[in-house]
Amino acid sequence: MDGDGTMKLGLSIGYSRAALDIPVKLVQRAEELGYDSVWTAEAYGSDAVTPLAYLAALTQRIKLGTGIMQLAARTPANAAMSAATVDAMAGGGRFIAGIGVSGPQIVEGWYGQPWGRPYYRMKDYVAIMRKIFAREAPVTHEGKEISLPFTGAGSSGLAKPLKSILHMNPIPIYLATGSESTVKLTAEIADGWLPMGFVPGAMTEYRPWLEEGFRRAGNGKGFKDFSIHASVHVEIDNDVRAALDRLKPEVALYVGGMGHRTKNYHNDIMVRRGFGDAAKRIQELYLAGRKNEAIAAVPDEWVDLKSLVGPPARIKERFRAWEDSGADSLSVRSLHPEAIEVMAKIARLN
C-alpha cells in the first residue's frame, strides 16, 4: 500500500491471440488515470518485452512490467540486456523484470530447454542478472543449474568473463511463484512477487513462507522492502452470472489443459483453495476434448473468488477484500475501457 493507504493499480494486457493488437490508447488512458504499471505476457506466440519497448515510446511515466518473461526463453544475460535496453529507452527507472519458469510442456516443447531443477535454475538466473546490472566486475557464476562462463560439453574452452558495455539501472526483479519452496526463494532473492493463485485470504498460507524467505535474506529484509503484485479479472455487468460465465473458458483452459495431467500449477492452486473435486472434473473433461462441458463445470464461486465482476457497486464492495489482502499492488485484467475507469475510481487513484 502507498503511504495514504491506497492500493496501486496495474493494467495487464497479456499476450496476443491470433493477431497482435497492442491497446495503446487504453494504456495511455490508464497512465492518465494514475495507474502505476502496465504488464505484458508471453506463452508461445508474441513475446513480453517487445510490446513494452513500443509502449515506452508512447507513454511518460507508467512502469513497464513483464508478467512474465519465461525463464527458458532467454539466457539470464539476454533477459538482463532486454530489460536494461527498454529501461534506458524509457528514461530509466521504469522497467520491472517479472520472471517465471512456465511449465515443462513449454520449457521443453517450445524452447527446447531442459526442465532441470527449476528452483536452482531460478536462483542462478536472478543472481546472474543482478551481477550484470551491478557491473562491479566481469560476470562469473558457479551455479547448480547455470554457470558463467560455460565450460560444459561442446565448450571451446575460450570463454571470457565479460562486463556489460551499457551502464544499467538496478532493475527490480519480481518472481512468479506459488509453491512453498519457490515462494520462500522469492522473498529471499527478489524485489517483488507475482503470486500465482493469490486471492483474498491467501496470505494466511503465504505469510510464513515469505517471512522465512526474508529471514534467509538477512539485513532486516521484510514486507517494507518487498512488493506483492496480485492480479484480478474485472468484468462490469449488471448480470453477475453472465459476467462469471465469460471468465469460465479461460479457467477451464488453464485448469484443464495448460500443463500435463500430473503437473499443472493452475489445477494445483484450485485444489489448494478448496475446489479439488471441480479441478479434477474440469481437467478430465478438458483432456477428453469435451471443452464445453469443462467450461460448464467451473464453479461460480471459484471465478467470483478470484475476480471482480458485476455492477460497479458490487465491485466496490468486493474490492475491500483485495485492499486488505496483503498485496500492495493489483493488476486489472481487462481490455474494456469502462473497467479501467471504474477501477481507478474505486481504488481512489489521483
Q: How do the pLDDT tens digits run along the chain, 350 residues long? A: 444 457 999 999 999 999 999 999 999 999 999 999 999 999 999 999 999 999 999 999 999 999 999 999 999 999 999 999 999 999 999 999 999 999 888 999 999 999 999 999 999 999 999 999 999 999 999 999 999 999 999 999 999 999 999 999 999 999 999 999 999 999 999 999 999 889 999 999 999 999 999 999 999 999 999 999 999 999 999 999 999 999 999 999 989 987 777 778 889 889 988 999 999 999 999 999 999 999 999 999 999 999 999 999 999 999 999 999 999 999 999 999 999 999 999 999 97
Instruction: Please tell me whether residues 100 and 133 are part of one structural domain.
Output: yes
Would you say the pTM of this structure is higher than 0.85? yes
Instruction: Please tell me whether residues 117 and 257 are part of one structural domain.
Output: no
Instruction: Please tell me whether residues 260 and 315 are part of one structural domain.
Output: no
Instruction: Please tell me whether residues 341 and 248 are part of one structural domain.
Output: no
What pLDDT is stored for residue 283 in this prediction?
95
Instruction: Please tell me whether residues 248 and 194 are part of one structural domain.
Output: no
Instruction: Please tell me whether residues 75 and 161 are part of one structural domain.
Output: yes
Instruction: Please tell me whether residues 150 and 73 are part of one structural domain.
Output: yes
- How far the first Cα of the chain sits from its last, in Å, is 14
What pLDDT is stored for residue 346 in this prediction?
97
Instruction: Please tell me whether residues 334 and 199 are part of one structural domain.
Output: yes
**What range defines the domain where residue 85 resides?**
8-233+308-346
* 2 located within any domain: no
Instruction: Please tell me whether residues 334 and 291 are part of one structural domain.
Output: no
Instruction: Please report where in the chains the cell 505484458 appears, as a residue.
Output: 40
* Residue 19 in grid coordinates: 493477431
* Residue 44 in grid coordinates: 508461445
d(CA 141, CA 138) in angstroms, rounded, equals: 10
* 302 located within any domain: yes
Instruction: Please tell me whether residues 105 and 242 are part of one structural domain.
Output: no
d(CA 327, CA 311) in angstroms, rounded, equals: 24
- Reduce the DSSP state of residue 19 to 3 states and report it: coil
Residue among 230, 198, 202, 191 at smallest CA distance from 39: 230
Instruction: Please tell me whether residues 127 and 40 are part of one structural domain.
Output: yes
Overall domain count for the chain? 2
Instruction: Please report where in the chains the cell 509453491 appears, as a residue.
Output: 179
What DSSP state is assigned to residue 307? Answer: E
What pLDDT is stored for residue 2 in this prediction?
45
Instruction: Please tell me whether residues 213 and 179 are part of one structural domain.
Output: yes
* 1 located within any domain: no
* 3 located within any domain: no
